[in-house]
Structure formats: C-alpha cells, structure tokens
Structure 1
Amino acid sequence: MSVRKMSSSERADPLCGGAEAPALRPVAGRSGFGSPDGNAIVGRLRRLALFGSAFLSGTALSGLATAALAQQSGNAAVRLFSSTEVIVSSLVMGALGAALFSAIWLVRQRGNMEAETQEMRSALSDAQQRISKFEALIADKNRRIVVWESGSSKPEFLGQLPVETGAPQQDREFLAFGRWMRGSSASELEKSIELLRVEARSFDMVVETNRDEILEVQGRVSGGKAFVRFIALNNLRAELAELKIERERLTNSIMLFHSLLDAIEQPVWRRDSQGKLTWVNHAYGDAVEASTPAQAIEDGREFLGSIAREKIRAAATSTSPFHDRISTVVHGNRTMFDVVDVVVPGGSTGIAIDVSEVEAVREELKRTLKSHAETLDHLATPVAIFDGDRRLQFYNQAFVQLWGFTLPFLDQRPDNSELLDKLRSDGKLPEQLSWRSWKETALSVYQSPDTQTDLWHLPNGQTLRVIATAHPQGGATWVFENLTEQVDLETRYNTLVQVQGETIDHLSEGVAVFGPDGRIRLSNPAFRALWGITAEESKPGTHIKAIETACSPSYDKPDGWRRFGQMLTNFDDERPSLQGTFELYSGLILDYAVTPLPNAQTMLTFVDMTASARAERALKEKNEALQKADELKNDFVQHVSYELRSPLTNIIGFTDLLKTPGIGTLNERQSEYIDHISTSSSVLLTIVNDILDLATVDAGIMQLNYSEMAIDDLLDDVAMQIADRLHENGVALAITAPAGLGTIVADQQRLKQILIKLLTNATNFAPEGSAITLNCWRTHSDVFFSVTDKGPGIPEDILKTVFDRFSANAKGGKRSGAGLGLSIVESFVTLHHGDVAIDSKPGQGTTVTCRIPSGTTARSVAAE
C-alpha cells in the first residue's frame, strides 16, 4: 500500500481528517515515467543518444577531413591512398574521437547520477515514514474506509469497525449491507453510494445495525475516486444519532398517521386543553361542510352538538376514554355515530364511526333471525342450535316432540354433552361399545370445518340422519332428519323390485322393457325362449336393432320389430299402445302388446296363444256347426209346428162337428172315441203352441203387448178358464187376494198363460178332492202370484231341472206332458223382467211364486 501527496484542494477535504491529511495512492510494484525506475531508464536512453551522436559526429568529421585532403593533394594523393583505405581510416578516427568524447561525458554523468540517487533515497525514506504514520492512523478500529476507483474497479478497504457493531470483518461481506444493517438503513445507504459514484453527490447519514449500534457514514469524491467512511460513534455522539433517528422516526410516524387519518372516511379531530380544535382530517371537514380542514379549524365548526361535547368533557378522563353512540346531523340527515374520545396530555382526540348502516343491518339481522326462528319452529324436521360455548341456543317444536324433553330443562340451556348424556340415560340413544369415544366423535364437529353426517338407529325403531354443521363464529347446528319412512319405503321398494323381478322371470308370458334410447333394460327367460335368442343377445343395453336382427329369422313379417323400434324412439307427445299377433315359422302364435311405461320406457309382452288359438278355432268351427244345427232345428220346428197346426185344427174342427146333433147320432163307443180324439188333439195343439212360443223367445222376436189391466179381473178370467180342468181332475181352486190390488201393466195374454200353466201343473199333481191355492199380493213396485198344491212334491235332484225344457216329471201326476209348462212360465216371467222361485219338499206339496213388476212405478219414473 502506498500513499501519495495531496493537492491543496485535497488537503482541505474534511474526509481526509483536516488540512494535513494526505491522499492515498498505490505505489509499490508499479513502474512508469513518473517513478524512479522510469527516470533511470530515461537517463540511459539519453546517454545512448549522446554516444550515438558523438560517434556519428566523429565519423562525419573524419570523412570531411579526408575529402579535403584528397582535394588538396590532387592526383598525387590519389595515387598514394585508395578509396577503401580512406574510408577505413575515417571510421577508425571517428570511433576514436567518439570514444574519447563518451568517456569524458560518462565521467560527468556518473557524478550527476550519484547525486540524484541520493536524493531519491532520501525522498523514499520520507514517504515510507509518512505511509507508516498514516497506516497507524487509519488502523484505528473505530472507522473503516472504502475507496472506489473510477469505472467498475474493485473497491479497496482501509481499517476495521468494532466487532460489537455487527459489521463483517471480511471485505467481500462488508458491502452486503442488508445482512448486518436494518433494512431501511441498508437501502438508503446503497442509494446514497450509487449517487456518490455516478453523480459525485456527497452525503452524511446515520445508520443502524442489526445489533442496534449507530454508525456515521460519510461519502465524498476526491481525485476521481469515491471515498465512503464508516465511523463507530462514541457514547455522546451515539446518543445524538439515536435521538436524531428517533426524531426522524417519530416525524415519519406522525406524518404517516396524519396521512392515514386524512384518508379514512371517519371524522377525526384533536383539541387542546381549552377544548379548541387544533387538527381535523378531511372527513371531518367534509362532515361540517368546510372546503378544507384548515377552514374548519379556523371557523371553529363543530361536528357534535354542544350537549354531546359537554357530555364527552364530563365523562372522558385520562384513564377512562369516552365511548358511546351519539346522533348528529351530517349533510342534512340525522346519522348515528360511534364516538370515541381519549384525553391525552395537552388536550384530547376523538374519532366518530358511522354506524347507521350497521344499526340498520343489525335490526335487519334481528328481524331475519326472528323470521328464521319462526320458520324453523314450524318445520317438521327437528333442529337444535348451540352457541360457541356448546350450550343450547335455539330449538324448535319438532325437536321437543322427537326427544320428549321438558321445556324447563331446555330453558336452562344445557350443554351439548349434557344433552347427549340425558338422552342416553333415558334410553333414547342406541347403546355403543364405547360411549365416551362415540360422544367425542359426535362432538368433534365443533373443531371440524366440514359438515358431519351420521345415522342413528334409535331403540324405538326410528332411523335418524343427523347432520351437524359448525358455525364460522363458533357453535354448531344439529338437524335430525327422520328417515324411518324413507328406509321403510326403500326396503319395500327393494323388496317389490325383487318380487317383480322374480315374478317377471317366472311368467309364462315373454316380457321385455326398453328405454327411450331404444336399448333393452330387462327381459325374462320366457321372452328369450319364445323368440329363440340367447341371454347374451338380449343382455341389458342391447339396441332394438340387434334384437330385431336376432328375431327376424323366426317370422315372415319384417315390419313387425321395425315398427316396435319406431314406436320406442319417436318423439311424439303421446305414445300409443299397440296390439297384434305374430305367427312364427315354428307354428307358435304370439299375441303381442306394446304398453307405454313411466319415464319414457316401453314394455313389450308376448303371450303364447297357440293352444288357445287352436281351441278357439275348434270352438268357432263347433259353434258354426251348432248354429247351423240350431237354424235347422228352428226351421224344422217352425215348419213342422205350422204344418202340424193346420191338420190339428182340421181334426179338432171335424171332431167338434161330429159331436153336433145335426150330423147324426153316434153310439156310445163312437162318442167315446170322438172325445179321446178331441182331447188328444187339444193336447197336441197346446204342445205345438208351446213349442212355437219357445222358438219365438229363443229367436228373440217375441214382443210383449203391454196394457193396463185390473188384477181382480185377471184372477176371475183365469179361474173361469181353468174351471173345466179343475172339475175334470176333481180339484178345487182357492184364490186369496186382498181387496183393492189395483192394476198391473203387463201383456195380458202372456200373464194369463203364466197363471194357467201354473194352475194346470198344480191340478195335474194335486190329489183328487184337494184344493189348490192361488195367492196374489203386491208391494210398492211388484205384484206376486203364488200357486200352492198339496201334491207329492218334487225330489231335490229333480228340483234343479224343473225349468229345463222337455223335463217332464210324470211321477205322481195324473197326466204326462211334454215338460214345457214351467219352462214357458220362466221365459214369459223373464220377458216381464221378473223372476220365478219354486219351493217343494217331498210329501209336503209345491209352491211356485212369480214376481212381476207392476209397471206403474216404472211408468211414473219414466214420466219424471
């Protein structure tokens, strides 16, 4: 390290320690024209130049002398010396002269060089002494200097700082100011050094280290170099520096707080000890409608009323600030403010926070909470809300009904854990293997950010879904959703689905269900068996096109399944049903039905109707044969009956003619034969007429001629017509009928025929000398006719067939017939919309009762 002398301007720089402080420069190890080694080289070059000039001068003089001598001697000299000899002699003489001249000059220069060397040694000794002195001065551990040459050269370091300051001792770590200085000090110092090196801007500043030590930093520029000096201050200077830093910090803090208070929207003010405003922010000025805060102070515009200010002055103390809500007028509107006023030495300060919106929100929140509480109270789902202390805050009526708590117990706001313990002691919670672990898990919702859901199967058979949600501000909400009905429905549904699946699988009908996308959802084995496809070909998800391809070889109607596909995948609003029949190549006859289902699904059903179709065909053929036979029978009966009636009429007529006296007298045997012929002809005519009537009824062409008749006249007429038959069989007739039976609307001829058939049948089976009874009575809308005889009765096995045609029971009767009487009675009564009942027991006689609607009520109802 070397030291160079300072110029007059450098000696005046305070950075160098006063007027006597020299500047520093590197010397050792360098050479040049400004150094002693450079002066020696210059001297040598000068001596070489003088020697060369002397040598050349001597050579030149020798040449001139030789030339002159040659000119004077003329031709003789030329003859004596040749040209080469002249040149060589000239050179020798010149060299001798130069050597003489150089020797003289070197003797003189040697003396000069010895004097100069002595002077330089003396100056070097003085410089080394001064360097040692300056190095000793700089080696003080209370300061350190960093020197930067011009440009981007590396800095040089001189001196050291005390270890307690926290400054690194290594040069390469010293310039990393951010590692051992406070952040604000390091950034400010780096900026100042940058300005010093670039713009030669000097600076003086105080910085703080991370160890709370104070350093004074000075930056100067001298001789094209930048000097930065770090000085560890003594106690007094350190205190002054600390006070300066603290003052700057407080000033910045005050300015920061003033800027912050000016930026907020809440009015802020400061008063002196007399209560006069000394500072307000912009919000205060705007609230009192002042153009600037200074104008508000100057005019003394108050934000609060006098009563409020007196209240604040009386209540606020240094230990107890005033804090209350005060209303005042701002911009013409009454506004509520939350005012805080603090008494400080020398005055007071306060702030007003607008809480009008908060009050409105609070009131709205109260109304909302009340509305929510009322809504929750009317819910059928039990709800309980616990606060941050896990105590019951709210419950609805469904919660009370679910657990059966008493209101006094709930009004005590029990703890959540206490509530669970009471439910367990009352036997309302399911028993757990570890109650403590289960309860801790249930109550962990208060520390969990997620909603917890659990299923509780209660001892009473109920199933609850318990949903516990923690509140962000503390507490939790418990919702108890009763899933008993849902679980039962799910169980029933699953059971129903299984039963339906088993039922469908065991049906003899083929069933296939398709979705709206035309893909099969399910099918049963009967469907696959009818169409001869495998389970793989009809697995769920198979499209109907694939089903159509698999089924197409079985029938000869290619449009069948194609039509199914169109119905399944169309977008019509109404999905119609479809029915029809397939006849497969295998001989099977299938009845199909397309039935729309909910959720846009469609069901196809296929029923094997092969046996039914064959039986139906057989029945149809048999029915057609029977119909033809019946037609032949009816034609035969009508033809024969009409053909028989004509000769019978002739026979009866001629028989009656033979009985007349005008023809002639007959002997006794002839008369007897005529009577037999007349009786047989009458019986045969009756049979033919009965057969015609039944044929007419069976053909559905018989029509009744309704008319109104008196019941008494009807009974008298019947008695007169049956009198001969009664007399012939020796039987009496007793008619029992109340007076005033009134009239009946019916076919008079058919009604007489009904009664005569009943009386004839009873006369045939009544014992001789007995009496048969004809009873007649009426109700509100019906007339009843009852015929009773005291004959042998009808056995039970024959009683079931008495109304069958041609079912004659001649046992016990006086005369056998064709067995059409009771059958005709039943047919005529049925035509009158009545009914016939028979009561008979062997040995006790027989009673036949007919109910005929009177027709009066019917006509009156029709008139209405």
Structure 2
Amino acid sequence: MSDVLGSMRRTCLSCTSLVRGLAGAGLVTASSPAFAADDPLAALTSWIIVDLNRHELVTLAMAVSVLGFSVMSAILLMRTRQRAAAQEARLRAEVQTLQAESDRFRALLFAEPQVLISWSAGDDRPQISGDIALLLPNDAHGGQPQRVLAFGTWLPPEPALQIDHAVDALLDKGEAFLLHLTTSTGRAIEAMGRAVGGQAILRIRELSGVRRELADMSRRFKMLQDETDMLRGFADAAPWPIWTRRASGELNFANAAYARAADASSPADAVGRNLELLDSTDRGNLARALAEDSEFAARLPIVVAGERRYFDVRALRLKGGSAGMAVDSSEAAALGAALVRMAEAHRRTLDQLSSGVAVFDAQRRLAFYNDSYRKLWDLDRTFLDSHPDDSSVLDRLRAARKLPEERDFREWKNRLHEAYRAVEADKAIWYLPDGRAISIVTTPNQEGGVTYLFDDVTESLDLQRRYGGLIDVQRETLDNLSEAVAVFGSNGCAQLFNPAFTRMWNLSPEALNDRPHIETVEAWCRPLYDDDASWQALRGAITGIDDRKQVALKLERKDGTVLSCKTMPLPDGATMLTFQDISDTENVERALRERNEALETADRIKIDFVHHVSYELRSPLTTIIGFAHLLGDPSTGPLNDKQSEYIAYITSSTNALLAIINNILDLASIDAGAMTLNLGPIEIRRTIAAAAEGIQDRLARDQITLDIDTDPAIGEFVGDERRVVQVLYNLLANAIGFSPNEATVKLVVRKKGTNVVFTVTDAGPGIAPALKDKVFDLFESDSQGSRHRGPGLGLALVRSFVELHGGKVEVDSVVGHGTSVICEFPIEPGAQRNAAE
C-alpha cells in the first residue's frame, strides 16, 4: 500500500510540474489561489475552470488523460500487490501441508528395510536412500552408499550380471523388471525397477513371510513352466508321434508327427477332432492293458499317408490320463525278416558242406548243426534236436571214446570252453582213439557263443607225412651227392639245388632261394666260365619247348676246374642240370704244379670253406632238427621206447652239431672282420645267471657243484651281453667237461683297476705246459681227462670274443691240480675295439 501511495504522490508531483510548466508558458495564471496554496488538484481545477481558451482546451485534455491513466495504474498495482500477498500466504500454507504429508509418506515408505535408487533425466549420479545395511552389512552407517551400485559386492556373479543387464535396459529403454534374488549373505530380496515421472526408480527390499513364499512359488512356477515348455517343444519337434489323453480317453495333446500320421492339418486339428492313430482293436487292447497295468508295449501296423507301416507303440498310465509314443520300426522289421531269410540261406548252405558245423549260443546250448556234424560224430538226431549244452555233447562223445584220451578230462574241457571268452579263432587237431585225426576250428561269435568246424584230416595228414618223407629222402639224396645238381622249371627259374652246386659255382644259397632265372645264374657263373656257345646250349635245353633232348658238355673253367655237364628233361617240364668235377682225372699233373699256389691260399680257402660249409650244413641240420621234434611230438603219432630213445639221441646230437656250426660261423665272421659288437651296459650278476642256466643239465648229470663268488659291489660294465654270456657258458662247459663227478667248479668275479676279471677254475687233471699255447687254437681238443671230445672251438671263441672287447685271456694250470682260465674285460668303453680294428 505504501508503494501505491508513493506512486500516486509521484504522479501528483508530475502533474504539479506540468501545471507549472503550463503557467510558465502563459497557459495558466499564477494568481490562482489554489496554485498559490501549492495544491495541484486545486490548481488544475482552477486552470480548467478559469483559464481555458480554445487552444488551451486541447492541452488540458491531454493532461487529464495522463492523469487518469496514472491514477488507474496506481489502483491496479495496489490490487495486484494485495492479491500476491494473499497468494503467498496460501502457498506457504500449502508448502507446510505438503511437507507434513512428505514426512508422513517417507515414514510410511521406509517403515520396512529397503533401498531406493533414483536416476533423474540428464543426471548420471543417482540418488540413493534407505537402509544400506540391508545390502552392505559392513557399511551399516551408510558411509559409502555408492557401493550399492557395485552389484557384485553383495550378489553372486550370475544374479549380479542379471540385475546389471536389467538396470541397463531400464535406463536405456525404460523397461520395467521384477527380480527375486539371493544376496551373498543368503538374504532373499526383491528388486523392482520402474520408470516414473521422467525418473528411473530401483527399489530393493528384503522378502519375508508371505512375500518370500510367494516369490519362491513364482520361481518354482517359472521353472516348471520352462521345463514344461522345453518338454512340449521337444515333443512337438520329435519325429515320432507323441500324444497324451485324459482319463476319459479324449486326446488333449498331439505333436506334429501325430498330426501327419493321423492326416490332420495341424496338432490342434487332431486334438479338436479327437483323431485316432490306432484302429479300434489295437485301441481296445491298449486301453485294457493300461487298465490292468501301467504300461503297454507292442509292434502294431499303422496306415500313414496311405502306406501300411509298423510302429513300436509304448504307452504309460499317468495321473489324470495316459501318454504314448510310436516309433517307426518298419525298416527294423524288414531287416529282421531279411536277417531271418539270410540265416535260413546260411543254414541251407552249411548243410551242404563236408565239414561238420556246430553253433552253440551264449548259454552254451546247441543252436545249429549240419548233417556232416551228425555223421562225423555219429550222434542221434533226437538228442541234437533237444538243444543240449556243450558239456553234455562232450560227455556223450567221451563215453563213446570219440574224443582224445586226456589224463584230466575236466581240465581239457575247461581249456576248450575258453573259446566262449576268447576274441580270436583257435585251431587244433584231435587224435582220436580210433586212429582218426580231426581238425577243429573254434570261432567266437559276436552275439555270444562259439561255432565249431570239424574236418577229418586223417588222409590229408597221412599224405602229407608220406610226401614229406619223400621230399626228405630226395633232399638228403641230393645234398649228399658229390655231383652239383640244380633243377630249373619250365619258366627257366631255379627250383631246386644242392650244396655241391653252390660250392662248385661259389653261389649264395640265399640268392638261389629267391628262384632266379637261368640268365641270372649264368651271369653269376660267368666269372668262372665265360663261353657264349656253352651257355647258349644250356639256356636252350632249359627254356626250350620243342625237341627237348639231353645235352652233354665238358667245361674247363678259368680256375682250371674241368666239369662234366649234362641236362636231363623231367616229366613235369622242368630240366635237371648236373655238374661233375673231373679235374682229378684229367688235370693231375696240372694240380701238382699248382700245389704251391694252393698252399699259399690255404688260409683264405680255409676261411671260405668254414663259412660256406657251415651255412650249407646248417640248412639240412635245421631240417633234421625240425623233423626230429615233429617225430618226438605226441601229436604226430605214438612211438615205442626204442624209437623215443633214438629220437632223443638225434635231438641231442643235432643240437650239439648246431652249436658247433654256430661257433664256426662266429669264428668265420671274426676272421672275416664282419663281427660287430652290440655294446651296452651289462649287469654282471644277470649275465652270470644266464650263462649258468645253460649248464644246469650238465651239473645235474655229472653231480658237479657250481660255486659263484662275486664281489657285492661289482656293478656293471659296457660290452656285448650276448657275447659275454657265450664266453662264460663256454668256460663253464669246458670246466665241467674236465672235472670229475661230485667236484666243484668255481667262478670268481672281481674288479682289477679298470677291468673286470672272470676266473673259472675246474678240478680236472690240468694242462701240460707244452699244450698251454694250443688250447685256444681252432679245432684243437685234448680229450685226456675229459668225458667228451669236442671240436675245439669253445676256447677259441672265448679268446676271440674277449679280445674283440679289448680284453685278454690267460690260462693258469698245474698238472694234477686243475686249470684256471682268467678273462679280463675293460670297464670303460674307450678301451674297446670293434672287429674293423
């Protein structure tokens, strides 16, 4: 009001100034009483009434207008001020009321523990209020409320990631969410996000009581719903018809496969029309089966798309109804039928075989047999058709004396039945008491059981034995001929030769075993005889087809040997070529003149002779040993005591001869510089044991004791373990041979500087001083004081092998007090040398 009065006063003063200005201009007289009294209004009135003239009237009108406008403005301003004051009073009362309501709402909002987080538009820093200790127990005073936004500090990783994504979606897109989570401390909380009035609000509160139960129920409901959706999706996508029915029998679910099989446009169409997949009879059987039991399973025919197919139908009775599924088994049924037809075809084929066939199943019962099996064992058909087990069949055959005579039949039968657990087939020959030989092949079946194949091989074995005997006679005859014999087939390749042939032409038996062509053999022989006409005649006689005649030639080789050569056509198209050395009759004089040259090359000839003869002897010897073992094998046939004794003599003699030949080969290899040691660490005790094992029979036979004295810290050294065993074996065998019965042979092993020393001492008669230097010579053997006369190779091999290792051998003997052989081997490999040295 005071402002309005002041404004009016200022207006009046302006009017007074205006009047005064008019008076100064002569428009108003200053003698007016009102003007003198300084009353503006009186002066103005006086001016209006007294001093008006025509020109002044216009000016006066303008002044009155200005004055009226000023008065009106002052009045309006006064009223506006009054209304503003009243509005301010009302607003203050409303603010107080709103503040009271806000405090009341805040009290109600935070009556339970919860945290509110709000994000305003354009403000990145959210406002956080509430009980921070609900989420951060270690920050009960709210010192760091911003830590609430680090969800991983109070939530496990997966829930923290879930709420983080939900908050991002709320801030970016305004998407609301409601999550039920469990904090790291085990509290169940509810996180609800909403966009309200341009703000994003996140409320987090603890669940308890009914809300918690409701949240658990919601979570379980969602899990069950997800599981139901997943199962329904699987059922919808399954290629097999799947359906469920109510207890009343009405269809309430069907998948796409069911709809296609029932000729429905969709699963909903199949359910709506209650279409049936099975015919009325099968449906009745299924309903009765489910009423009596909780499960139904059968292979039923179903017409699908106009085609009759077979399905394996399975249905289960469930609470509130039933569920079923049908799997297409048409292909399996077709394959089963094909398998049955194939099995029948196999049975018909097996019935035509001459071999006896018996198939036993996994329960060891006879599942199939052919007529040859029944005839072979002379078994009753009724008995076989009763499907007896394997043991019953064997017991019946044993009772009829149609099985091999075994001392422990139960153990033999258990070994035979190991075929039921075997992986690979097994072969054997049964020699029956009636003289028959039966070949048996046991083959495990993949589905379980065993298939037996029986063949009577009595005649085959007899023919093989006779044929082998003829071959042996032929081989022995050819091998012992002084003439060189070789047989070439109609294709010109070598088929047979004797040792004399290889020696005569200096050929390798191994090379001839590869059946070379006559042209190849000719190339090998040309260094000794290079006459084109003679070789052409021989090639024509061997490879010719027409006019096959005998050819006789006399060949004088480059080495001076004169040979008589003949070819003999054989009935099978082969050609026999023989060479006979007639040099002695025709070249006696020349042989005498060349004696000096032969003496000069005696050492070389000796080595070549030993090498070739040893190889040529070992081949027939191996054959003799093999057939001796074959004759001694009970499976070959029974022998009387005298025959068994002779076989034993042959075996022992051939083994000894083989050992001699092997020793000769070793010596020949050493002399030829072809022996190479296989060096490696040698465990001395194991080496001694290996050598001692080979002489156990001699020790037992002669009642000789072997005394081994080894340094406990002997350790090992580097060498060829096989050759060291051979050295020790020869030393021990030699010591046993010269020791009397019930004597003791000593083996002492010691370390001596950088060497290992083996000393073998016997209790024999000793060696005379004159013979000490000869005991290591080849083929030098002194039988005095020994129970056997050997070839004189053992000690020669000992010296060769020890020296090959870089060691040395010494003999210390006193006549009448036994002999000691000392062998020293270097420990370090640097002290060794190979055969090339």
Larger Rg: 1
TM range (shorter): 0.3 to 0.5
TM-score, normalised relative to structure 2: 0.44
